[in-house]
A and B are shown apart, each in its own frame.
Chain A
Amino acid sequence: MPSTSETERSDALRLMASANQSMATRLQPPAWYHLALGLLVGSFVALREGPMMWTFAALPIHAVALAVLVRIKRNRMGMFVNGYRRGRTRWVALGALMLSMTVIMAATYAELELRLFGAYLVAGAAIVAIFTTMGPLWLGAYRRDLRES
Chain B
Amino acid sequence: MPAAALDPMIHAPLRLQICAMLAAADIVEFAAVREMLDVSESVLSKHVKVLAQAGYAAVRKATSDHRQRTWLALTPAGRKAFAAHAAALRSLVG
Interface residues of A (CB under 8 A from B): 1-4, 6, 9-13, 15-16, 18-20, 22-24, 26-27, 71, 74-75, 77-82, 85, 146, 149
Contact B32 A78 (CB under 8 A): yes
A27 to chain B, nearest CB (A): 8
- Indicate if the CB atoms of B32 and A79 lie closer than 8 Å: yes
> A-B pairs with the 3 shortest C-beta distances?
A78-B32, A19-B20, A78-B29
Q: Which residue of B lies closest to A78 (CB)?
A: B32
Q: Is there an interface contact between A20 and B89, defined as CB atoms closer than 8 Å?
A: no
Query: Which residue of A9, A18, A22, A80 is within 8 Å of B92 (Cβ)?
Result: A9
Beta-carbon nearest neighbor of A24 in chain B: B24
Interface bin, chain B: 20 to 34
Q: How far is the CA of A149 from the CA of B23 in the complex (A)?
A: 11
A-B contact sample (12 more), CB < 8 A, given A78-B31, A80-B26: A2-B3, A9-B89, A9-B92, A12-B16, A12-B89, A16-B20, A16-B89, A19-B18, A23-B25, A74-B27, A79-B32, A146-B24
Given A1-B3, A9-B89, the answer on whether A80 and B27 have CB atoms closer than 8 Å is yes
For A2, the closest partner residue in chain B by CB is: B11
Chain B residues contacting A6 (CB-CB under 8 Å) are 92-93
User: Contacts of B16 on A, CB cut-off 8 Å?
Assistant: 12, 15-16, 19
Once the chains bind, are B26 and A16 in contact (CB under 8 Å)? no
A79 to chain B, nearest CB (A): 4
- Interchain nearest-CB distance for A75 vs B (Å): 6
Q: Write the chain A residue with the least CB distance to B32.
A: A78
